[in-house]
Amino acid sequence: MIAPKALREKLTAPRALVEVGAALYGAPLAGSTTAWIAHLEAHDDDTLRAVLQRARHDGARRVAYGGPPGNYLVSGVETSETELAAWLVSRGFSPVSSHVDLIVATGACASYDDVSRLTGDGAGVCAWFEAHFASAWAMEAARAHGHHGVFVARSAEGELFGAACHSGNNAHAGTFGPIGVLPDARGTGLGRRLAETVLADLAARGHTTARVPWVDGATARFYRSFGSVLREETRVMYGLDLDEGA
């Protein structure tokens, strides 16, 4: 059961999902043939059938469980969710990739003067994320800006060279991300100052912890270098090829 507040966010643009029975479903975006299951309870075969039918109708060749990036409820199946994992596998899904979600403490994080909250129009920062990082990050930045959760670093001339956000997904849960620093500006501590400022803002809003989702093994070192990581959840993305599937 998804809490009403969380569900409202998932059903809202950008990257709005739809309810298919008891599942939350994301149709393939233009140019993609992957459909997404953002939520589905184990053993709900009727709903799974309806989702796969809908995905085929939408032209999908593949269905992913977890995500979609840009508007996810969970980033994947946690390794402790063995019943869900076994059910997915028994229905033809297989593990595709794994990553970690970090649960970090926000309390000891500081704010920095060279990082400021984005005010006014958010279109420029979204375009910057799209151009330099990923279109899903642009969607998340747009939603984060709606929560006044985007922080930026600019040169004296006003050129944007780093940005970090919170509340771009699952705002009620204190979710970090996305974060990006342009290659020429990396390695000088800017990423840390951006991330800390974002976490400090979450702390000021009453979130004692934040979730940093979808982190790969190498990047986890970045967060550990300044933050207090309380827990690491290993999460797995599952995929089903519709040509082969149930």
Ligand X SMILES: CC(C)(COP(=O)(O)OP(=O)(O)OC[C@H]1O[C@@H](n2cnc3c(N)ncnc32)[C@H](O)[C@@H]1OP(=O)(O)O)[C@@H](O)C(=O)NCCC(=O)NCCS
- Name the token pair of 86: 């076994």
Q: Give the nearest residue (CB) to ligand X.
A: 191
Q: Closest approach of Cβ 108 to ligand X, in Å?
A: 15
Site membership for ligand X, residue 180 (CB under 6 A): yes
SS3 239: strand
Q: Compute the distance between CA of residue 77 and CA of residue 95 in angstroms, rounded to an integer.
A: 10
Report how far residue 167's alpha carbon sits from residue 144's, in angstroms, rounded to the nearest whole number.
Answer: 5
Residue nearer to ligand X on the CB measure, 93 or 161:
161
> Mask of contacts with ligand X, 200-229, x by CB under 6 A?
---------------x--xx-xx--x----
Residue placing its CB nearer to ligand X in the complex, 30 or 218: 218
| Beta carbon nearer to ligand X, 63 or 194 | 194
If one asks whether residue 188 binds ligand X (CB under 6 A), the answer comes out as: yes
**Closest among 11, 95, 81, 84 to 44, alpha carbons compared:** 84
Phi, psi of 41 (to 5 degrees): -80, 150
Among 43, 49, 172, 186, binds ligand X (CB under 6 A): 186
Cβ of residue 19: shortest distance to ligand X, in angstroms? 29
112 closest CA partner among 184, 44, 200, 47: 200
Contact between residue 73 and residue 41 where contact means Cβ atoms under 8 Å apart? no
Q: Which is nearer to ligand X, 53 or 188 (CB)?
A: 188
Minimum CB–partner distance for residue 179 and ligand X (Å): 5
Q: Please state the closest distance from residue 104 (CB atom) to ligand X, in A.
A: 12
Asked if 236 contacts 75 with a C-beta cutoff of 8 angstroms, the reply is no
Only one of the segments 13-21, 31-39, 80-88, 184-192 lies at the binding site for ligand X (rule: CB under 6 A); that segment is: 184-192
- Smallest CA-to-CA distance from 66 within 35, 107, 89, 36 is with 36
Nearer to ligand X, 25 or 137 (CB): 137
